[in-house]
A and B are shown apart, each in its own frame.
Chain A
Amino acid sequence: MTRNVLEYLERSADRFPEKTALEDDHEKVTYAEYIKQAKAIGSYLLRNGLEGYSNKPVAVIIDRSIRPVITFMGVLYSGNFYVPIDYSLPAERIRLIYDTLQPVAVIDGRSGSNKPVEGAILFEDAVSEAIDEDLLKKVRSEAIDTDPIYGMFTSGSTGVPKGVVICHRGVIDLVEAFADTFGFDSEMKHANQAPFDFDVSVKDIYNAMRNGASVVVVPRKLFSMPKQLLEFLTEHKADTLIWAVSALRIVSDFKALSSDIEKPDFRYIMFSGEVMPIKALNYWMEHVPEPVYVNLYGPTEITCNCTYWIIKGRQDELKALPIGKAFVNSKVVLLDEKRENRVTKQGEIGEICVGGSGLALGYWNNPEKTKESFFQDPAVTEHPSLLYGTGDMAYYNEEGDLVFAARRDFQIKHMGHRIELGEIEVALNAIPFIDTSCCLYDEKRSKIVCFYQSQSDDVKAIARFLADKLPKYMWPNIYKRYDRLPMNKNSKIDRVRLKEEM
């Protein structure tokens, strides 16, 4: 049985030692090199303070190169788990993450050009360590499949990000389900779009590793330049895109596929993160009809995805795209408002609640939030059985497929990221010249609208302030100043009225 993802790496390194496993626009490694470098990093960590530590967080500073991925595997060889950290985030947010995380080590997994982070272990140092097979073997002998594998931080409504902790079994369950469901194989080449601190990238890393396939990391700036993006994909013979909806939309919004440039031979195009506009999907399917198109759905807390819908042909622009049915070995149910009863009638709306092997271990160092979000399945009274409440409301259509309807709270999906509007408001209200504020999401235009009460209309100052606190995807896109924000009967900001004024 497979109980640790490194077994995938070991098997693929046995089967395809000379094959390219990972590449970016500067360097590449074969499977033999991949495993060798990961083992060296693992040995380095164990010899430099981590021996005796297991299942503890190691922060890995990431960029858009293959090195963070190799570093992740190195951390796993040490018997600990990795937490990707993007140093282009505001320093304040990184500090909040470190406060919660208390990492036992920090590794700068970036390639070259960046100034190394003070106190961090350098990739170059760790990777040149001699491999200690005996030590690694000893660490592995104690591994079980519920050990944590990675932590990813998401937006929290109180202003403090939450660290979702996923276990090896969750990732194993995910890639086995993908292989069974979609027929993934060793010939595939995944074009990685998602940053490594975003769990969409987990699917590139581990599907490829399980199957002995390859991953090419696409440079970020190509996503502004769709023609060059397609040229890159063709040049690197990438055939599998597991991307955020927003990234696929760059290509369709600019009608990049209509131009006379060579199109890559795509096999799979899968997307998730937010609702795919049917127009964009139809554009893709019209211009590249060959690949298998799949709509994927799931929160980070269930290890990436729990439902899928294979798209067969052109879609009706007036209908919502279903998120489909549960993956094999995943429990996906709808519960009523009190989370007491199952909703099973067609067309009736309930909250998507998920359980199974992919369920997260919880939020790191946050028992309250964990208890709130992971609760006993009301249909099971005889033994513990947990569900995660996604906050996503959905219904079953005539075919019995799930269709996303709305959110139940103030969380939104914007540019593929989960955002608590409350977290933006906390940051806004901390600005000295803002009395109070409210953020709403304009779904039609995909814009975060900020309503604020202030005597000053210095939007530049607000923007600069937020840039120091929040990641870019959380910045409001539209600002509306009020002398007084409208209040409702309960003396709260009247969100309903503001929504009308949007």
Chain B
Amino acid sequence: MEELLRIMSEVRPDIDFETETRLIDDEMLDSLDIVAIVTDVNDEFDIEINVNDLLPENFNSAEALYELIRRLQYE
């Protein structure tokens, strides 16, 4: 989780990812942030987040994204 928070903060140092839960719904992250985060996450966790995983519910919070990563690691 710490690794994920580091990646997200690097892309957007201005956002507190430990507390935010409406990253997509409130348009805090835009498309280019998502691209940057997904690229780094794929590299760092050796997974592939594909287009079907790109849903608001998977990206609204760091926790949700972490769950997605765990799920993809199991597969």
Interface positions of A (Cβ within 8 A of B): 220-221, 223-228, 246-247, 249-250, 253-256, 258-259, 415, 459-460, 462-464, 466-467, 472, 475, 477, 479
* Contact yes or no, B14 A464, CB < 8 A: yes
* Contact yes or no, B13 A225, CB < 8 A: no
Q: Which residue of A lies closest to B39 (CB)?
A: A253
- With contact pairs A223-B31, A224-B24, A224-B59 given, residues A255 and B13 touching in the complex (Cβ less than 8 Å): no
* Contact yes or no, A221 B27, CB < 8 A: yes
Q: Chain A interface mostly helix, strand, loop or mixed?
A: helix
CB distance from A468 to the nearest CB of B (A): 10
A to B CB contacts below 8 Å, 15 in the list: A220-B27, A220-B30, A221-B24, A221-B27, A224-B24, A224-B59, A225-B24, A227-B54, A246-B31, A246-B32, A254-B38, A259-B50, A415-B32, A460-B14, A472-B30
Q: Does B52 sit at the interface, judged by CB under 8 A?
A: yes
In the assembled complex, the Cα of A492 lies from the Cα of B6 at a distance in Å of 34
In the assembled complex, the Cα of A255 lies from the Cα of B52 at a distance in Å of 10
Task: Specify which of A227, A464, A475, A479 is in contact with B52 (CB 8 Å cutoff).
Answer: A227
* Contact yes or no, B13 A463, CB < 8 A: yes
* Contact yes or no, B13 A462, CB < 8 A: yes
Chain B positions within 8 Å of A247 at CB level: 31
* Contact yes or no, A259 B31, CB < 8 A: no
Q: Chain B interface mostly helix, strand, loop or mixed?
A: helix
Chain A positions within 8 Å of B38 at CB level: 254
Query: How many contacting A-B pairs (Cβ < 8 A)?
Result: 64
* Contact yes or no, B31 A250, CB < 8 A: yes
* Contact yes or no, B27 A254, CB < 8 A: no
In the assembled complex, the Cα of A228 lies from the Cα of B52 at a distance in Å of 9
Q: Which residue of A lies closest to B14 (CB)?
A: A463
Chain B positions within 8 Å of A220 at CB level: 27, 30
* Contact yes or no, B14 A224, CB < 8 A: no
A225, A259, A479 pick with most chain B CB within 10 angstroms: A225
- With contact pairs A463-B14, A464-B14 given, residues A224 and B52 touching in the complex (Cβ less than 8 Å): no
* Contact yes or no, B29 A224, CB < 8 A: yes
Chain A positions within 8 Å of B12 at CB level: 463
Chain A positions within 8 Å of B9 at CB level: 460
Q: Which residue of A lies closest to B9 (CB)?
A: A460
Closest 10 CB pairs of A and B: A463-B13, A223-B31, A463-B14, A256-B51, A224-B31, A224-B34, A254-B51, A467-B14, A250-B31, A460-B13
In the assembled complex, the Cα of A225 lies from the Cα of B60 at a distance in Å of 12
Q: Which residue of B lies closest to A458 (CB)?
A: B13
In the assembled complex, the Cα of A396 lies from the Cα of B9 at a distance in Å of 44
In the assembled complex, the Cα of A253 lies from the Cα of B34 at a distance in Å of 11
CB distance from B23 to the nearest CB of A (A): 9
In the assembled complex, the Cα of A380 lies from the Cα of B24 at a distance in Å of 54
Task: Specify which of A223, A253, A462, A477 is in contact with B30 (CB 8 Å cutoff).
Answer: A223
Q: Which residue of A lies closest to B30 (CB)?
A: A224
* Contact yes or no, B54 A226, CB < 8 A: yes
Fill in one digit per residue for B27-54: 1 if any A CB lies within 8 Å of its CB, else 0. Answer: 1011111111010000000000011101
